[in-house]
Amino acid sequence: MEEKKEKLTLKDLILLFFNTISARCWARLGLTRDEYGDYYQDLDEARLGIDTLDAVFGKIKDLVDEETRREMEGILSTLKLNYFHQYQKKKKEKEKI
């Protein structure tokens, strides 16, 4: 007997996208290993990812439950804060040169 597979909704795919891009942002901030196991920082890529997540969140926040919305808000806030700290750190390093 063939088991019927549940199909992902577009909302499910958007949430998966959000989680994938947020993980990539942490890596581009240089705070976690990337998918290849390397540490390196690329603040331009991190910013692109964070801005994209912000736009996606704006579209989906009213379509998800309260817990998911809070989790997404927390991820975004933490990424933005860490971006700011990494940007300031890099700026200070450049000023020393």
Better-predicted residue by pLDDT, 2 or 6: 6
What residues make up the domain containing 87? 10-96
Estimate to the nearest angstrom the gap between the alpha carbon of 48 and the chain centroid: 10
What's the number of domains the chain is made of? 1
Q: Is 4 helix (H, G, I), strand (E, B) or coil?
A: coil
Burial class (CB in 10 A: 0-12, 13-18, 19+), 2: exposed
Identify whether 4 is part of a domain. no
52 falls within a domain: yes
Residue at 1 is within a domain: no
In a domain, 25, yes or no: yes
Q: Kindly report, residue by residue over 32-78, the tens digit of the pLDDT.
A: 998 899 999 999 999 999 999 999 999 999 999 999 999 999 999 99
